[in-house]
Structure 1
Amino acid sequence: MLTSLALAGAVLAPLAPAHAENLESEFDKAFAERPVQQVATPGQTQQLQTRQVQPRVQPTTQSTKRAPPASVRPYVSTRGQRSYPSAFDVQIANLADDGNGRIGVAAIDLTTGRTVGVLGATPFPLASTSKIAIAAAFLDGVDNGRLSLDASYPLMVPVKSKRFSSVTAPVRPGAMVTGRKLIERALIYSDNQATDALLAAIGGPAAVNRWIRSAGITGFRMDRTIATLVRDDGEYNPAQLIDERDSATPMAMAELLAGIFQGRWLSPASRSFLLATMERCETGKRRLRGQLPEGVRVAHKTGTLNNTASDVGIVRAPDGRVYAVAIYVTGQGGHSGRDAKIAALSRAIYDGYIGPSGGSYASAQR
């Protein structure tokens, strides 16, 4: 049964190590085209021609060979048409300026219910932030007796294939790993093989979508396995185009995080295990956590794909205040620019909800 699940289920991408945080450097290398002299052979014209080396990943412009799916549309800025209810919202909107790539933000104060958002209802690439929903759906299966944290499931190891050559990228079953370890590897190290193992065990992306709908969340959808997502990534530039496949709105992700923290869908044991594992996340040290004060607890998950970076999580201040936050960034000139933007927005949200001295700036603005 496990073998059939592994072969039929969703799975991973050929990167070593299999951490989503390493994708950015792979893409940076892929897009660095360099001119090469083409030497004429005997009998051919002596005119030398210059060609470009084909990048390993196609440029992030719309493919001329593939008609864009109905899920893809241009991003049209509405910045000049937006209004904001408070100085706090204006500050976040100014930091999330879309002039150098669109940015989505959503945060929910779990004490007061106060929300703040920029493009909060606009889809952004899930990338590896989807792993929270995948782990939650698996834990729901544990709570219902269908799955077990102590049972072993096969890692999903990618098999090399050409981009777009199949609806689902081929994989093969690998080493057997317990459900507990799969979740830890997926959330702490962003291990793609472990994530696709979880996906295979629960029934693929469709199973995640069913669980999300049962939780009452809209604005979230998964379409592909992680193996397929990584293999076929880079066809569209997320800074300029909105692709609803494998996407979430920032507010949908913030609502998912809030519900998990509030114990609305998982058992106390599953909730505690999920949040504790997210607190051990090793990726994105310069993102949500980058500018936060010492003593702040952050349970989070990062995401990184071509020209996009994200970090989403639960932030707990030393004074006990808690909020859910989701930040999705595109463009910004490169990987470091996206990290810096996430860190700046994270600190501004913290100061707005908690205050630099522990007070609530947001409350004062209402």
Structure 2
Amino acid sequence: MTRLNPQRICLILSCISSLTLCLPAVGQKRQSIEQLRQNIEQEISKQPGVYAVAFKDGATGRELLINEHQSFHAASTMKTPVMIEVYKQQTQGKLSLSDSIPVKTEFISIVDGSPYQLSINQDSDTSTYKELGRQRTMASLLYDMITVSSNLATNLIIERVGAPNVLQTMRDMGAKDIQVLRGVEDTKAFQKGLNNTTTAYDLMLIFSQLAQGQAVSPEASAEMVKVLLDQKFKSVIPAKLPSGVKVAHKTGSIAGVHHDSGIVYLPDGRYYVLVLLSQGIKDDKAAVAMMAGLSERIYQYVTQP
């Protein structure tokens, strides 16, 4: 009978131990949606402010909703409804994406019709301001409105399509609480509380319709998703996801507010809709990091074996 020396025995035991650590636990259960909810609520409780989460799995229809009907200042998330209205009016023959619009910075307050100016210093987009007096196509303005969140492009488009029309289209899509009343930087309206607002549930609803090809038409939905995939601000939903995951989304932020909303496409062809809203936040960097972590948790839940 062959005897193993002590050193040989230790080596074998070490290898067995290492292999065991790499194997999944026998009978390990998948995380439930309720466990995911508890983990998310625990993370949210650590940060000052009010948060909302709306998640919907495109394959199963399963949802996770937290404060989904809480009203939030929409910030730039209202630009997705504006984009939908543009495509709707194009389908109706009221405009074309190839239409040219003169670039200007003066707009009319919804309060009393008085003029107000947009400033390059208050906009994430600077290139459109260099086009003053020139013509820009509706398509190029729409692209900048979504991908770099251009306030100037947004106001030019809203003046063309009409905020009341955007609002009616949201109601027609079943979004009962989104309020698109005006363009951006209308100070008089802001002071009177006439603001664009949204809920996580309504944003989940319209992004679900975009994902399903039901926003205006399958062709229009696909074109809008393509624009949303080019989003340049990626600090929340996509921040901690693998590079093979694609996110078609629209962000929004002002003082004390940070949002992200969109569709997450997995390499295997599945998708889910995710909306993360916040307001009353004290530390923007910490809140953004926390929400990026929530996005990662939801991704791990969807992709767990």
Which TM-score band applies after superposition, normalised by the shorter structure? 0.7 to 0.9
Residue pair 2:206, 2:215 contacting (<8 A) in 1 also: no
1:326-356 deviation digits (Å, cap 9, x = unpaired):
111224432212221220111111112223x
Equivalent residue, structure 2, for 1:214: 172
SS of residue in 2 equivalent to 1:217: coil
| Distance change >3 Å, CA 86–CA 214, structure 1 → 2 | same
Residue pair 2:68, 2:200 contacting (<8 A) in 1 also: yes
Equivalent residue, structure 1, for 2:49: 101
1:122 to 70, 73, 76: 70
Name whichever of 293-302 and 171-180 sits farther off: 171-180
| Distance change >3 Å, CA 322–CA 244, structure 1 → 2 | farther
1:114-168 deviation digits (Å, cap 9, x = unpaired):
111210111111100110110111111011111101111233514799xx98576
Asked if 1:155 corresponds to 2:113, the answer is no
1:91 to 39, 60, 63: 39
| Distance change >3 Å, CA 156–CA 252, structure 1 → 2 | farther
How do residues 131-280 of structure 1 correspond to structure 2 at under 5 angstroms?
131-158=79-106, 170-171=116-117, 174-203=133-162, 205-228=163-186, 245-280=195-230
Mapped to 1, the partners of 2:49 and 2:152 lie a distance apart of 30
SS of residue in 2 equivalent to 1:116: strand
Mapped to 1, the partners of 2:152 and 2:269 lie a distance apart of 36
User: Which is higher, the Rg of structure 1 or of structure 2?
Assistant: 2
Residue pair 1:302, 1:310 contacting (<8 A) in 2 also: yes
1:231-255 deviation digits (Å, cap 9, x = unpaired):
766x69xxxxxx7841111011011
Mapped to 1, the partners of 2:156 and 2:270 lie a distance apart of 35
1:322 to 268, 271, 285: 271
Equivalent residue, structure 2, for 1:287: 236
1:230-283 deviation digits (Å, cap 9, x = unpaired):
x766x69xxxxxx78411110110111001111113223321221111111112
Question: Which consecutive residues of structure 2, in runs of 5 or more, have no partner in the other structure?
Answer: 1-31, 119-131
Corresponding letter in the other structure for 2:168: R
* Percent pairwise identity: 25
Residue pair 1:105, 1:326 contacting (<8 A) in 2 also: yes
1:93-133 deviation digits (Å, cap 9, x = unpaired):
22222751011110111111111121011111110011011
Q: TM-score with structure 2 length normalisation?
A: 0.78
Corresponding letter in the other structure for 1:137: E
Equivalent residue, structure 1, for 2:296: 347
Residue pair 1:321, 1:354 contacting (<8 A) in 2 also: no
Question: Which consecutive residues of structure 1, in runs of 5 or more, have no partner in the other structure?
Answer: 1-83, 237-242, 360-366
Mapped to 1, the partners of 2:76 and 2:260 lie a distance apart of 9
Residue pair 2:181, 2:194 contacting (<8 A) in 1 also: no
Corresponding letter in the other structure for 1:195: T
Residue pair 2:213, 2:222 contacting (<8 A) in 1 also: no
Mapped to 1, the partners of 2:46 and 2:195 lie a distance apart of 21
Corresponding letter in the other structure for 2:101: Y
Residue pair 1:169, 1:228 contacting (<8 A) in 2 also: no
Mapped to 1, the partners of 2:301 and 2:255 lie a distance apart of 31
Corresponding letter in the other structure for 1:192: N
Residue pair 1:221, 1:247 contacting (<8 A) in 2 also: yes
- Superposition CA RMSD, Å: 2.7
SS of residue in 2 equivalent to 1:221: coil
SS of residue in 1 equivalent to 2:185: helix
What is the total number of aligned residue pairs between the two structures?
261
Mapped to 2, the partners of 1:269 and 1:197 lie a distance apart of 24
Corresponding letter in the other structure for 1:272: A
Equivalent residue, structure 1, for 2:20: none
Equivalent residue, structure 1, for 2:22: none
| Distance change >3 Å, CA 143–CA 288, structure 1 → 2 | same
Mapped to 2, the partners of 1:144 and 1:319 lie a distance apart of 35
Structure number with higher helix proportion? 2
How do residues 305-320 of structure 1 correspond to structure 2 at under 5 angstroms?
305-320=254-269
Mapped to 1, the partners of 2:229 and 2:114 lie a distance apart of 32
How do residues 3-42 of structure 1 correspond to structure 2 at under 5 angstroms?
none
Q: CA deviation at 1:187?
A: 0.6
